Amino acid sequence: MGIACMRKSINTYGYLYSASASTCNAGKKAESGSFYQYMASLAFSAFTLEAYLNHLGEQVFSYWKQLEVLKPISKLDILSEVTGANFEKGVRPYQTISQLFRFRNEMAHGKSQFCSKPAKDDEPWWLDYCNQQNAERAQEDVEAIINELNEKSGIQDPWTFNHESY
């Protein structure tokens, strides 16, 4: 008689979600340096959703490796359509996510910007984006999208947002 083997699941998106929450909370506790905490929180929120989309995509599509190269917003659109999740473009949470992925791309593919004059309107948009309100909204809307996709997919991971499970 064999011993039952339990498989452990490492949920990368759970770790990223915790990193987003942790850095946002750190920003709220200490105003000095909070810009960088919110910047990190926003990046980790984007990473959270993309990691979840890959997590779900592998369970929904046998050929996810071919789709994995798509932009995160395209992955979201495909998985939304397949699962029946309805995210209206132009309103929350989709609106937040499209802005969040724009931010993620700006940070991941950062380029120096040389301002012609010392004026606020000549600076990159994301300098104003890295704040508490946007970091909290990104967390809320990433969570809402993951919960909706999780429910509609029929897979319904019981450990959503946890780091590990057996």
The whole-number pLDDT of residue 156 equals 66
Residues sharing a CB contact under 8 Å with residue 162, sequence separation 6 or more, in sequence order: 11, 14
Residue 163 lies in a domain: no
The whole-number pLDDT of residue 166 equals 42
What φ, ψ does residue 165 adopt, rounded to 5°? Answer: -155, 165
Query: How many structural domains is the chain composed of?
Result: 1
Closest CA to 58 of 19, 11, 102: 11
The whole-number pLDDT of residue 33 equals 83
Residue 28 lies in a domain: yes
CATH code for the domain of 50: 1.20.120
pLDDT in tens, the chain (166 residues): 455 555 667 889 999 999 999 999 999 998 888 999 999 999 999 999 999 999 999 999 999 999 999 999 999 999 999 999 989 999 999 999 999 999 999 999 998 887 776 656 678 999 999 999 999 999 999 999 999 999 999 886 666 666 655 4
Residue 81 lies in a domain: yes
d(CA 112, CA 115): 10
